[in-house]
Structure 1
Amino acid sequence: MTPHLALDHLWTAAGCDTAALDTVSLTGEDPGLPSIYRVGTLASATIAATGLAAAECFRLRTGCRQRVEVDMRRALAAFRSERYLRVNGGPPPALRDPVMGFYATRDGRWIQLHTNFPHHLAGILKVLGCSNDRTAVAEAIRGWDGTALDQTLADAGLCAALIRSPREWAAHEQAQAIANLPLFEIMRIGDAPPESAGRGGVDRPLAGARVLDLSRIIAGPVAGRALAQHGAQVLMINGPHLPNIEPLVIDNGRGKRSATLDLRDAAGREQLRGLAADADVFLQAYRPGTLAARGFAPEALAQVRPGIVCVSISAYGHTGPWAQRRGFDSLVQSASGIAWTESRAAHSDEPKHLPCQALDHATGYLAAFGAMVALARRATEGGSWHVRVSLAQTGRWLQSMGQIEDGWRSPEVTSEDVQDCTETVDSPFGTIRGTLPAERLTETPAFYGRPPVPIGTDAAVWAEQE
């Protein structure tokens, strides 16, 4: 699979005009990072699809067609944006709790724990009955069989994944439940008159478009960030009680405003409903059904705001026995055979993840791509729309691309190696150096119009109403 073929697949699967593919230039080839998987192809294709969709939104608004260029090296830098982030010239940000990682079980299996949120760490330590120390955790896990611990932690609402081979995952009920689902879905869910992808000025593809971003960590925030870099007004909504990881708030908050609403309260839900009534895109990455239980199912939002584009991101898919299971990129890699395959290829004694959060970033760009395709459809045929993606489906697509023999021997890419792919801006957090948008549009360059701000900096209103 080449980047061009992967982009062709995305573009045609979305039902887009194939003539637009002639305006895209893709350069670079795998392996760009140490991996046997075609991570560079995944990065180039998903980012190019996002850029091309933005260009199409601009063409529909102005009649002007433009070229889109993506170099794999820059795309891979964007796929590692959180790793290359620097604040005030300091060291790389700490993104992982010390207990997070792989552990051997009593029956010779491996399990991965995900403990980056304090309540997840506390819950796992309670199940294991041990102290907050890697040695103590390792000793406790050696008293469990892998499958039993995996299920026990999942039943407790905690975050872990048994390391499975691709064959073992393919036989699993969850893999079978999503096996026939497409990589992404763009579904019409209601009627509405045609409406432009943006509002007011036409200097940028999504100028004036209003996006509500109800997501945290990487996949959802990357989607919101991608929409912001093409001119959308993105308002990030966090719950005041929900945990976050500050470096990710900084990295993925670029281009966005930030407010808090407590959806546990009727007043908070009513305020969000009011925001949605004036929104173009409602992006969320809660577990399937969570927001629907609060009154924010896509169909309900389409009643509140005919013409809205709803985007839903999940870990393991919206159907199957694991639909409600909490998940993160690294856990999906572990459960689906990616970590097993990487370790076997590299002759590693322990499981081995991809060299970046590729499923998160790719799914984020696919979500933004789907949102812009839906906005373009709204402009030509009207309607309300629902876009659905998941980390597991993205992972399956990556696995289908084939492998690169000895790709894991490719050299590491350091922050110094990608200096030309970054920019420095002042922000409330200090001086931020972060990766630039990887896609280059000849008429409407992608850029972040605002620096990142701390959670809750802004009022929960649209900018024009402040």
Structure 2
Amino acid sequence: MSSASALAGLWQLAGLPGEALDFAELAGSDPVLPSSFAVGAAAQSTIAAAALAACELGHLRGAPRQQVSVDMMHAALECIGWFSIDGRVPDPWDKFSGLYRCADGWVRVHANFPHHRDGALKLLGLEPAAADRAMAEQAMLSWNAIDFESAAAASGLVATALRSFEAWDASPQGAAIASQPLFTMDRIGDAPPLALPPLRAEQRPLEGIRVLDLTRILAGPVGGRALAAYGADVMLVNSPHLPNIEAIADTSRGKRSAHVDLRTAQGRADMDLLLEGAYVFIQGYRPGGLAALGYGPREAAGRRPGLVYVSLSAYGTQGPWATRRGFDSLVQTAMGFNLAEARAFGSDTPRPLPMQILDEATGCLIAMTAAAALHRQQREGGSWHVQLSLAQTGQWLRELGRVEGGPSAARPSMQPYLETVRSGWGELAGVRHSAQLSRTPAAWVRPSMPPGSHPPRWD
């Protein structure tokens, strides 16, 4: 499937005006990175969808439509998520994260957070303070893959067995994912159209749109960052007691960054004030986590009628894995991508895709659907709940088809696409945004700052 066809499909599912597609210009074709999957088309079409949806909302607010151009090579390299801080390129993986051989196949463990790492090591019968990678690899050999996956899930940990596409499709969760659309957009309450600030032609299309970003890893932050590039006032809200990964420096470009502890009365009061002025609320916590604290979609919309509430999960809202934690690397492994990619490269060792494309594409879809739902809210009123998952994005990626000659593609240099800016973390180098807006260029005006750098207030 071409990028243009993929974009048209996303646009139709979002219910946006078809004539706006004439303003999209997509250059390049797969392969742009070494992969048998259409990762370039996935990156390009979702980034274009996010930018075009922002511009369409700007058009609804009175601004003329403008051209949105996305080069596939630039889009794919942006989705690699490369960055450096003061010249240092952080390692994205803990030493215990990754693939492990087991008695009957392979298991992938995600250990970037200390509590996930320590839990996995204890499940293997190891003392976390004394264990090393070799010990973990030896211990895993006594487990069957599905047994370890199930035991990890029962303990609230994150690990998945390696499957083929055929095995995934035959599983209850695979069937549940295949039966769902890429995303859903449901009306969850009555409200008049929100009064959006007026927009001048020279302003970026989302200026004046306030977005609460309650996400940490990685799709949600990418979505908030895209909205910020198109002018939204994005407030990243972290809990002071939860850990983050170093990629927060890259994904916080353009955002404010505040601490709010919803376990406290003060934190709830702060959140309620923020909600009063928000138009969009994005959350990527485990299913039911925020609802238990009183900030599920219906509760939040009750406090702010007309709100667009976006929920991100790993495995969707249906099937036996609906409440299971997960990350891009694990979803790739569980769904069959790692095995299919290995076979395409003629390898016996499972091979990941060349970037966390499920995260990156889902992040762009978050930005697109937030703008699309707000566009719908302006036309119809109501409060809206958008739901997306990494696994549904994975299903969509499969449907884009395979790329002949992809494994032999060379990885290009990122140097022409990099920019270096000051940040609260140090000198931050990263890839410029790949969506080019003809009249109001995308830009991250605010520097990336550590959590808690800003007060939890819009003013």
Which of 98, 103, 108 is the aligned partner of 1:106? 103
Are the aligned partners of 1:197 and 1:375 in contact in 2 as well (CA < 8 Å)? Answer: no
Letter in 1 for 2:347: S
Alignment of 1:12-411 (within 5 A): 12-81=12-81, 83=82, 85-90=83-88, 92-107=89-104, 109-130=105-126, 131-198=130-197, 203-246=203-246, 248-411=247-410
Could you tell me how far 1:265 is from its partner in structure 2? 2.2
Return the alpha-carbon distance in structure 1 between the equivalents of residues 16 and 343 of structure 2: 39
Quote how far apart the aligned CAs of 1:199 are. Answer: 5.6
Inter-partner Cα distance in structure 2 for 1:266 and 1:126: 35
State the distance in 2 between where 1:253 and 1:50 align.
17
Q: Cα distance, 1:198 vs. partner?
A: 4.5
Give 5+ residue unaligned stretches, structure 1: none
Whole-Å separation in 1 of the counterparts to 2:297 and 2:48: 27
Q: How far did 1:419 drift? A: 2.0
> Identity of counterpart residues, as a percentage?
48
* 8 Å contact from structure 1 (residues 342, 352) kept in 2: yes
Query: How much does 1:175 deviate?
Result: 1.5
Distance 2:187 2:78 in 1: 31
Deviations 1:411-460 (A, max 9, x none): 123xxx22221211112211111111111111111110111001111111
User: Does structure 1 residue 448 correspond to structure 2 residue 447?
Assistant: no
Deviation at 1:274, TM superposition (A): 2.2
Distance 2:60 2:350 in 1: 47
How many angstroms apart in 1 are the aligned matches of 2:328 and 2:383?
29
Compute the displacement of 1:172 (Å): 1.0
Where do 5+ consecutive residues of structure 2 fail to align?
none
Q: What's the CA shift string for 1:250-303, capped at 9, x where partnerless?
A: 100000011111122233223212211221111000112111111112112111
Q: What RMSD in Å do the two structures reach over aligned CA positions?
A: 1.3
**Contact 2:31–2:405 under 8 Å retained in 1:** no
User: What secondary structure is seen at the aligned counterpart in 2 of 1:255?
Assistant: coil
Q: Is the 8 Å Cα contact of residues 186 and 374 (structure 1) preserved in structure 2? A: yes
C-alpha separation in 1, matches of 2:348 and 2:306 = 52
Contact preservation (8 Å) 1:189, 1:385? yes
**Secondary structure of 1:389's match?**
strand
Kept after mapping to 2: 8 A contact 1:287/1:323: no
Residue 218 of structure 1 and its aligned partner are, at CA, apart by 1.0
Q: Secondary structure at the match of 2:10?
A: helix
**How far apart are the structure 2 equivalents of 1:171 and 1:157?**
24
The residue that corresponds to 1:430 in the other structure is 426
Is the contact made by 1:199 and 1:209 (CA closer than 8 Å) also made in structure 2? no
Report the CA distance between 1:153 and its aligned residue. Answer: 1.0
Distance in 1 (CA, whole Å) between partners of 2:431 and 2:196 is 26
Asked if structure 2 preserves the Cα contact closer than 8 Å seen for 1:31 and 1:40, the reply is yes
Which string of whole-angstrom CA distances, capped at 9 and with x for unpartnered residues, describes residues 27-80 of structure 1?
A: 000011110000001011000001111111111122411111010011112111
Give the deviation of 1:196 after TM superposition: 5.0
Q: Is the 8 A contact 1:67 1:441 kept in 2?
A: yes
Instruction: Report the 3-state secondary structure (helix = DSSP H, G, I; strand = E; otherwise coil) of the residue aligned with 1:62.
Output: coil
CA deviations over 1:69-93 (Å, ceiling 9, x no partner): 0100111121112x2x121223x21
Aligned residue pair count? 455
Counterparts of 2:245 and 2:197, CA distance in 1: 31
What is the TM-score with the length of structure 2 in the denominator?
Answer: 0.97
Deviations 1:351-377 (A, max 9, x none): 111000000000010011000011111
In the TM superposition, residue 379 of structure 1 has moved relative to its aligned partner by 2.0
8 Å CA contact 2:94, 2:112 repeated in 1: yes
CA distance in 1, matches of 2:102, 2:404: 30
Report the alpha carbon displacement of residue 204 of structure 1 after superposing the two structures with TM.
1.6
Between 1:250-259 and 1:426-435, the stretch displaced more is: 426-435
SS at match of 2:368: helix
How many Å separate the matches in 2 of 1:47 and 1:241?
32
Contact 1:254 1:451 in 2 (8 A): yes
